[in-house]
Structure 1
Amino acid sequence: MLLVSLLVSQFIISQNKTKKPNIVIIYVDDLGYGDIGVNGAIGVKTPFVDELAKNGLNFTDAHSAAATCTPSRYSLLTGSYAFRNNAAILEGDAPLIIDTTKETLPKMLQKAGYTTGIVGKWHLGLGAGKIDWNKKIPLGPEEVGFDYSFLIPATGDRVPTVFLENQEVVNLDKNDPITVSYGTRIDGYPWGSKHPELLKQHTDPYHQGAVINGISRIGYMKGGKDALWVDEKIPFVLSEKATDFIEKEKENPFFLYFSLHDIHQPRIANIKFVESSTMGPRGDVIAQMDWCVGEITKALKKQNLLDNTLIIFTSDNGPILDDGYLDYAIELLGDHKPGGKFKGAKYSVFEAGTRMPTILHWPAKVKPGKSDALLSQVDLYATLACLLDVKVAKNAAPDSENYLDAWLGKSKKGREFLLEEAYTYGLRFGKWKYIQPKGKPIPDWIAKKFVDPGFSAEIQLFDLEKDPSEENNIAKNNPKIVKKMENKLKEILK
């Protein structure tokens, strides 16, 4: 029996190594470069993420396409810079911003024979106009290329606070229809501005709409009582749906886009993770996020799929301490540095705004190690297409470039130039970092978040090898480099 068992195990391993790899992108929200143990986190442990890094490639200079969530997600799935479609942070009832007539990353993977699924945060809009939340929404992940979807429609701090499964509200009672409003106040759930005594966490004025589960949200809502999520259960619900997808699709190649809500505000940790860090709610939801990563790797192991699954763990934009809810993230930070040694944050053009914790784990093909290759998430489209020998459709993924050897650790040659989108533009060229002048004053809503967005009326240039924290502007001393980067930025924007 032992011999038979060994032969079966060897056969399974052999089969896994010859078939197409499963692909899992674990996309964390607002996680900074320094927020994981392997990159120097203090006050919170991330053993499951660190295990991925130990057995995979840990990238030190890999970037999201933008310093905010909707633009980064748009670029990841379309292979196009967000500015080309004016993609910006969306309200919870915004229309779908991805052109359904064009090829996307999941559509390309469908062509390659993959079953595609998304579980978690969407925030790319739904429908074509005013959404009727009481029917199947006609435009969403399905039209973009996902065979299965289980969504948080926008973000945890926006209404509607319900899950969508295959574009229909989960557990909706038709006798209690949902109405959602942004701007115009509607009666329904109490408003945070009127009932602060109901709140688990107090907020800025922007988040004082509908109070649901003790959390005041952006926007107003009524109805859908049986469909409301419980914030403390979100990580368990999403992890279960993701692992169910793995179980169901285990026999054929699959693509899973696991888009976590953590560590976005409101940071409401489950009791399982409360006080698991020294940093209060923000640290606790980092631990919670790590547990979700562990659930995915355990599910893959259980199905004997981990060895031949290409896992990319990363984040959508840089860290933010105060993003509207009072959870003492600043006061409890201690010695922890969310952006590592890099300057900036979410909303910022400085490095920490887009330099993401990024790990690629694929034991069948990739040797463990570290890489300082300059990489962008916008390139995953073309890179995965090359891996699978799929031709990218005409007019698709205009900004995506193939850097397969760099992503697999066979080369350290990444991008020559890399665009960083924030509320201005940054451009990387090797060790050089150029920031386009922006003389406008810092918007009040950004200033209140204790974020330096990097605005300056002057051209900014930094040598990141000597000055990783971008303190010493050397533009005047390097006119040739400045001119080269100005011209390249104009070329990209044109």
Structure 2
Amino acid sequence: MMKKFFSFTLTLFFVQSALAIPEEQPAPFAKPNVIVIMADDLGFGDLSCYGADSFETPEIDKLAAGGIRFTNGYCSASTCTPTRYSLLTGTYAFRTPGTGIAPPNSPAVIDPDLFTLPDVMKKAGYATAVVGKWHLGLGSDAGPDWNGELKPGPLELGFDSCFLLPTTNDRVPQVYVQNHRVLNLDPKDPLWVGKMKPSEDHPTGITHRSTLKMDWSHGHNSTIHNGISRIGFYTGGHAARFRDEDLADK
């Protein structure tokens, strides 16, 4: 299930830390490991356990059958960044400026001084990790340093480790971030991300439409990567770029 939804999910792992216990002492109550999977733009009618008949979701159905299936629930927002903000902070995103849909070069949206969900779990003795779509910005107010340390980020918000799509798979850059660095980035080929075309001849979905695997749509008409035009512009970092077809293997 994680492989199927990897490019669209934020997955949080909270694993009980192992402690050395003298043999003469009884083992403490074992806390359960906790995994939170947040799917992007998933409606209740998309799952067969909620009556969908266009396709089947057998693995999710097993979770529903063996756990709790909610029949009445509300989401703090209906889109990317603000929903993730609320999940991690426990507050409504609309009460904090700058929590709309984060652009590719967005600095960290969540203040590191806030007490977050991973902070709560660490205080309870858990090791914490986040994998998948982040889309909560990285770096200081000046924006992310794609060729240096991407701080503040998840590690400053209570996570022990992270492996991320920094924005979304339809929004530049198409790279992985592991902890504070872009994975496999060659310093001789620096990564540049921006709002405007880096040069007049920079290929986009509009100017090079015939090269696309799928036609561009509104907003998705900028830098072309892997035959798909994305939101935003970027150049360089070729060794670090992922192929969409390989996302499930990571």
- TM-score tier (shorter): 0.7 to 0.9
Q: Does 1:171 align with 2:184?
A: yes
* SS of residue matched to 1:58: coil
TM-score (norm. length: structure 1): 0.44
CA distance in 2, matches of 1:18, 1:55: 23
Structure 2 residue 79 is the aligned partner of structure 1 residue 65: no
1:119 partnered with 2:121: no
Question: In the aligned structure 2, how far is the partner of 1:17 from the partner of 1:142?
Answer: 28
Unaligned runs of 5+ in 1: 1-14, 238-494
Contact 1:196–1:202 (CA<8 Å) still a contact in 2? Answer: yes
1:19-418 mapped onto 2 (5 Å cutoff) = 19-86=30-97, 87-128=99-140, 129-182=142-195, 184-187=196-199, 190-237=203-250
**C-alpha contact (below 8 Å) 2:209/2:216 kept by paired residues:** no
CA distance in 2, matches of 1:130, 1:220: 15
Q: 1:75 to 1:16 in 2, by over 3 A?
A: farther
- Residue identity (%): 45
Cα deviation, 1:73-120, whole Å, max 9, x if unaligned, reads: 100100110111131111011011111112101011111111100000
Q: Does structure 2 retain, via aligned residues, the 8 Å contact 1:189–1:212?
A: no
Distance 1:23 1:41 in 2: 27
How far is 1:17 from its partner? 10
Asked whether the equivalents of residues 220 and 230 of structure 2 are also in contact (C-alpha less than 8 Å), the reply is yes
- Per-residue Cα deviation, 1:202-249 (whole angstroms, up to 9, x for no partner): 122411111001110011111011111111121231xxxxxxxxxxxx
Equivalent pairs counted in the alignment come to 222
Shift of 1:198: 1.5
Q: How many angstroms does 1:133 deviate by?
A: 0.6
Hey, which of these two has a bigger chunk of helix by percent? 1
Change in CA separation of 1:205 and 1:70 when aligned onto 2, cut-off 3 Å: same
Pick one of 8, 18, 21 that aligns with 2:29: 18
Give the greater-gyration-radius structure (CA).
Answer: 1
What whole-Å deviation, never above 9, does each CA across 1:175-203 have from its counterpart, x for those lacking one?
Answer: 11100011x21138621111011211112
Report the residue type matching 2:160 in the other structure.
D
Q: Equivalent residue of 1:118, what SS?
A: strand
Tell whether the 8 Å contact from 1:189 to 1:220 is kept in structure 2 after alignment: no
Shift >2 Å, 4+ stretches: 15-18, 187-190
Rounded Cα–Cα distance in structure 2 between residues aligned with 1:206 and 1:126: 22
Query: 1:38–1:164: structure 2 CA closer, same or farther, 3 Å change rule?
Result: same
**RMSD of equivalent CA atoms:** 1.7
Provide the rounded CA distance (Å) in 2 between the counterparts of 1:185 and 1:31.
33
Contact 1:78-1:103 at 8 Å conserved across structures? yes
Q: Deviations over 1:319-369 (max 9, x none)?
A: xxxxxxxxxxxxxxxxxxxxxxxxxxxxxxxxxxxxxxxxxxxxxxxxxxx
Give the Cα separation in 2 of the matches to 1:192 and 1:186.
15
Larger relative contact order (Cα-Cα within 8 Å, sequence gap ≥ 6):
1
Rounded Cα–Cα distance in structure 2 between residues aligned with 1:28 and 1:59: 16
> How much has 1:64 moved relative to structure 2?
1.9
State the shift of 1:16 in Å: 10
The answer on whether the counterparts of 2:88 and 2:116 sit within 8 Å (CA) in structure 1 is yes
Evaluate the alpha carbon distance shift between residue 134 and residue 216 of structure 1 in structure 2; reply closer, same or farther with a 3 A threshold.
same
Deviation at 1:63, TM superposition (A): 2.2
Distance, in Å, in 1 between the alignment partners of 2:172 and 2:92 is 27
CA contact (8 A) 2:130 2:163 kept: yes
Go from structure 1 to structure 2 and tell me whether the alpha carbon gap of 1:63 and 1:102 turns closer, same or farther (over 3 Å shift): same
Displacement of 1:71 in angstroms is: 0.8
